[in-house]
Amino acid sequence: MKLTSFTTLSFDCYGTLIDWETGLLAALAPLMARANVARDKALEDYAVQESAQEAETPTALYSDILTRVHTRLARHWGVASTAAEDTAFGHSAPDWPAFPDSPAALAYLKRHYKLVILSNVDRASFAGSNRRLGVEFDAILTAEDIGSYKPDPRNFQYLLNHIAGMGCARAQLLHVAQSLYHDHVPANEAGITSCWIDRRAGKAGGGATKTPGRMPEFAFRFESLGALAQAVAQEHGESFPA
């Protein structure tokens, strides 16, 4: 199987294109300091609380999800948070940094593929992230549009339905994501070929994402988006970075 066999790339955003663990830790820093919670523990607890909140309120905007997660974490860690702190965390996603390789890699991949976002986010929050990524996506599909959060299979069926309207068959789609739990397991179930961007290579645990009960299948694995772009360039007989 070659990367050039595909015409469309769908992307998870947070953890794949945007360095959400760095962003999350910066936004959680005041609460972590009060609770004396270490970095890895904070990320692991965040993963549990975020997934639980998304399951409980699947139609809530992501900014509201984050607001409620901050409240949940404070309670879980046995400290108090103010409404203003909860709200500030809820609106922090646009401030999370892009991975350094994301903008250039996306700009290159745009030459050869249609690019689609499939993200657990609301449109207003993603707009801030999109400015950091610096590329125009051919479609942006969010939890706000779908009414559920990955790994719900409805999100991947929504993706398939949308790309069909773009003239892309399932076999022409490659889903590119970091999270095994949110993306690769449901992509397997939907019959979508996937590429693992293993941003946490060499680190223990799942960080800010829950770990899956089983290791899913994926057709390709790279440790950065830049490495994916380099592999595509090699198949095309081009160079990246140019």
Identify the active-site residue in 12, 45, 86, 122: 12
pLDDT of residue 213: 84
pLDDT of residue 158: 98
Domains of the chain, residue spans:
3-19+97-236, 20-95
- Residue 86 falls in the annotated catalytic set: no
Q: Which of 99, 92, 36, 25 is nearest to 64 (CA)?
A: 92
DSSP assignment of the chain equals --GGG-SEEEE--BTTTB-HHHHHHHHHHHHHHHHT--HHHHHHHHHHHHHHHHHH-TTS-HHHHHHHHHHHHHHHHT----HHHHHHHHT-GGGSPBPTTHHHHHHHHTTTSEEEEEESS-HHHHHHHHHHHT---SEEEEHHHHTS-TTSHHHHHHHHHHHHHTT--GGGEEEEES-IIIIIHHHHHHT-EEEEE-TTTT-SS-TTSPPPSSPPP-SEEESSHHHHHHHHHHHHT--S--
pLDDT digits (tens, 9 = 90+) for 171-224: 999 999 999 999 999 999 999 999 999 999 988 888 999 999 889 999 999 999
CA distance 41 to 30: 15
pLDDT of residue 214: 87
pTM metric for this prediction: 0.95
- The β-bridge partners of 9 are 115, 174
pLDDT digits (tens, 9 = 90+) for 69-97: 999 999 999 999 999 999 999 999 999 99
- Taken in order 122, 128, 133, 134, is the CA torsion positive or negative? positive
Burial 13-38 (b: 16+ CB within 10 A, else e): bbbbbbbbbebbbebbeebbeebebe
pLDDT of residue 209: 93
Domain made up of 20-95: CATH architecture: Orthogonal Bundle (1.10)
pLDDT digits (tens, 9 = 90+) for 229-242: 999 999 999 999 86
pLDDT digits (tens, 9 = 90+) for 22-31: 999 999 999 9
CA distance 189 to 76: 33
pLDDT digits (tens, 9 = 90+) for 40-57: 999 999 999 999 999 999
- Identical fold, 3-19+97-236 and 20-95: no
Mean pLDDT of 100-107: 98
Q: Are strands 173-177 and 8-11 parallel, antiparallel or unpaired?
A: parallel
CA separation (Å) from 44 to 48, 112, 124, 145, 212? Answer: 7, 37, 26, 28, 13
CA distance 12 to 146: 15
pLDDT of residue 202: 86
pLDDT of residue 242: 62
CATH no. for 3-19+97-236 = 3.40.50.1000
Mean pLDDT of 58-62: 97
Q: Length of the chain in residues, anyone?
A: 242
